[in-house]
Structure 1
Amino acid sequence: MTADAIHRLSQADWLRTDGIQAVFSAIEQQGDEARVVGGAVRNTLLDHPVPDVDIATTATPETVTARALAAGLKPIGTGIDHGTVTVIAGGFPYEVTTLREDVETFGRQAKVVFGRNWTRDAERRDFTLNALYVDRHGSLHDPLGGLEDCLARRIRFIGDPDKRLQEDYLRILRFFRIYAAYGAGDMDAEGLGACLRQRDGLRHLSAERIGHEMRRLLKAPLAGPALRMMNDCGLWEIATGGLARVEDYDALRRLQPIADEVLDPELGLVVLAGFVREDLERICDRFRLSNAERGRMRTAWAGLKRLRGMGQLPDAADMIYEFGRQGAIDGLLAHWAGLSAQGTAEDKDFGEFLAQLRQVSQPEFPLKGADLIAIGHTPGPTLGDLLKTLETTWRDSRFLLDREALLAQANKDA
């Protein structure tokens, strides 16, 4: 297994592109070295997709910038104060960061200097499986012995876990998120204990940072077990200000084979935290969610509420008309998950209704106020009331009445 993983790394497509090789060639001059580090190495070893590639180097940011320009590449000082320059090569962005080492450590405000020691740079990172490097030829460099942890899918802090967390309390959430994405077996007991001891540090994090990390966690394969442990340890309540329906969320994730929507954080949060509408508003505010995310959660909650209040599943077209296709599907999946957690869901009926929600056309009301004015109705509140009455009549007909039939009804009601 180890040999296969290392071979896969040495032959990785992203490592053999002209773009990344051009970045290596530009940087590696006058004794400087450059190596890919972190996620790209970890994901390749574990046979996961590689969305981006980060490079560590002994060259300073100013040197990286000058050499990239001289090589005809495009450097952007995206995080130059922290030693990072984004270099565009072959149309792909590479974040190039100078090796760093701590001089003094006091949380996120630690005093850091640029260095040339690969082991010191690795010691600053969070987990052993993220402290793996590969050079331009595909040779793996493992200064802290993280390869074994990586291949065993063991999420273990580098050095003293309490110290790592005190440097940045967001690493508490990252511990659970990385486990949810890459872990296997039981969580590392030492790391879990440190997260429990340092949990009050979550109260000092910004809403944006917590929300970003939690949304990523909810997309991960083992989100259910990770969230259950977070809830048991009291971390969910600190992060969200409320309780969690973990059983409902587990049931939601079991629907993934027929509904990819269960991986969407908005739906996951509705199922986890949607005891009442106010819970959703608290989560939206606490995580600083976008208007689009808030809108989807509110519509899903409204669809869920309607289904909860019915003794049977409604007409699919009517559900779509009221909540939109996405809102109708979200509401159904949330309702289905809740009943499944209680052992009362009729999976066949719900599955058939889900198929209908995906297939039926979205109805479009064929009348506008101008249509009624054109046949002699006077603009104003009475016109609006008539339009609403006709819309109700149209919905009651299961959308069978056409424009002419509705206009005839309007004349009859005049």
Structure 2
Amino acid sequence: MNRIVIIGTGMAGYNLAREVRKLAPDVSLTLITGDDGRFYPKPMLSSALSMGKTPDQLATASAEEQARSLDARIMTRTRVTGIDSAGRMVTTDRGEVPYDRLVLAVGAEPIRPPIEGDAADAVLHINNLDDYSAFRRRLEGAQRVAIIGPGLIGCEFANDLLKSGRGVAVIGPDPHPVSTLLPAAAGQALQQALGEAGAAWHLGTTVKGVSREGEGYRLALANGETLSADLVLSAVGLRPSTALARAAGLEVNRGIVTDRLLQTSTPGIYALGDCAEVAGLNLPFVQPLLIGARALARTLTGEETPVSYPAMPVMIKTSLHPVTVAPPPREAEGEWQVEAQEDGGVKALFHAPDGTLLGFAFTGKAAAEARSLIAELPPLLP
């Protein structure tokens, strides 16, 4: 018997279940989730406000509807307490669930920076639809929002809030926005565009404390500055959720370590999505998740299929100044060549010493042209 159990009903869990069901109509399929199991596109959380979408409108299917369409058992509001890999059993607060193949699709969790002050617990973190619903409730009546973290998610939320007419301050130690993906010229172009739209940037520093100030909050920065805000959102990044895997004795590095079959160090247990570190790569984006789901579905249903990743640019949803970036490998030798554009955007190309194109970052109107370069880039995982 092939009993497949998937822990997690985010985009990874549900897309895998869908791919498995296409290949194996009769396989036993169980999904376990700590939330209500609604299906929603998580990347839209940072752009829903300007799209006029409420949290409920983001959800396209309930757990019951998903269970029917997938012919699967979906255990909602269920906490997984352990994995017995020898006995092939998942233990939960609702009983035991046996498996033949187990997939961890548990995603990532917010990094919580150390913050002092009597309002530190009022700082919001958004990682799921429940979090986002709480954010939207708190946002009512709030006109000044402080965002901790000038990375990809922080900039997307800044863009969304600016378009809603709110004042935004972005704080972080980075030299420029999205510094882990963008070269300086591209990050500075994004910074200038969002600044012209009303964003106040406080870079090269961190938030030391958050205290209550009337109906709002006062932020104390490490550089001695203070800011006032009606709402404080932390978006300093995510880290793979590895606690369950670690407790089960699986190898963990940055993420849950897998081979190219997405199998962990323990036979019969696999990992997919933001929680996984595949052949040394942790890629918390949608395209690698979808590619992995298709490959893993074939492996789980009898056809071992190693995952391969082509070049996969990231499109940052900052509609006030669009960005498309394919960062070069971290260890790559070479240099950026930057061409400024009339609209304030940039075209930045990263070439190896032999002239090979290894990465690019296009911003502003040029972002739409970047896709034509994808075919020139080497694959991430051949």
TM interval, shorter chain, is under 0.3
**Structure possessing the higher relative contact order (Cα contacts under 8 Å, 6 or more residues apart):** 2
**Greater helix proportion:** 1
- Larger Cα-atom Rg: 1
Q: Provide the TM-score with structure 2 as the length reference.
A: 0.22
Q: Provide the TM-score with structure 1 as the length reference.
A: 0.21
